[in-house]
Each structure stands twice: as structure tokens, then as C-alpha cells.
Amino acid sequence: MYRGDSLILLLLSVFIIGWLLYRFRFWLMAPPKGRPAIDPDPEVPATAAVELLEFSGYEVLTGKRRIPIQIQVNDRELLESRLFIDHFAAEEEKLYVVKVARDRKPLDWTGSGLRDQLLVYQLLYPEAEGILYVDPRQKTIEKIRFDVPEEESRTS
């Protein structure tokens, strides 16, 4: 061995160990791949929305889900509410939250209207590719996706 070889081997070893630690941390922080853990229902009731989704190539995984929410105001008042998800559906390996159109609560097709009415579902299930808004009367499926920048890239 030459004089500087041990120093080069030490620097190379430190670089490789650092790179391996960086990649391990990156792997730990990466979102899981494949279909997320949504327990499919053994049987989903056949409705016009389910038939439209299946005809369009989606696999309907669940029926209606009720998500209870407790809201605490000023550390004393406890309020209760709930959030309903009509279905979960999958296309290939992508998961979607499904909302079915309702006559009594029409969707406002503006940026702020979609945000106010549907963003909560994307935030609740970040592993979902987006929201499918199904209107069985008009026989339409709208795929809605929200892209929220990471905290580091937001500006004040």
C-alpha cells in the first residue's frame, strides 16, 4: 500500500456509510407502495353508482363508511359530528374515495367549492389517488385530485 491509500479508503468508507444511511432514511420516509390497507367489504350493495363504477373499470371495495368526529372547543365543549364516504374504489393499483352526487347538496364546480366540499377526503386518506365524484343520473364520473405542496415549498 502506498502512503495515502489508507486515507482514501477511510474517506471512501465514510462516504459509502453516509450514502447508505441517507438511502435508508429515504426508504423509511417513502409512502408505501401498492394498494393501501382499506378492508374491503365482503359484499357491496348494487346501486346505480356501483354499477356505473364497475362498468367504467373500477373495482368497488366498500359500501358506505361512517367516520365519527369529536370536536373540542376551548378545552371544554365537546361536539360530535360524522363524515360519510360513499365507497372506496380501485383502478389498477390506485385507490379512490368515492362521493355520490346528491340532489340536496349539489357540488359547486369552482376551485373553492371543490376544496370546501372534497379536500377533507384527500387529507383524511392521503394514500388515495383522488376523489371520484359519481353522478348516476347523468352517468358521469369525475376524477378530482388535489395537489398540495409540501411544507418546505410553501411561501408565506
Which alpha helices (DSSP H) does the chain contain, by range?
5-29, 48-55, 111-124
Give me the chain's average pLDDT, please: 86
DSSP state of 127: T
What does the alpha-carbon distance between residue 85 and residue 69 come to, in Å, rounded to a whole number? 13
In CATH, 48-153 is 3.40.1350: yes
* pLDDT tens by residue, 59-115: 999 889 898 988 888 888 788 999 999 999 998 888 999 999 988 888 889 999 999
How far is residue 154 CA from its own chain's centroid?
A: 20
Residue boundaries of the structural domains of the chain = 1-30, 48-153
Which helix (H) or strand (E) covers residue 149, if one does? none
Q: Whole-model pTM?
A: 0.69
Phi and psi at residue 15, to the nearest 5° = -65, -45
> What 3-state class would DSSP assign to 92?
coil
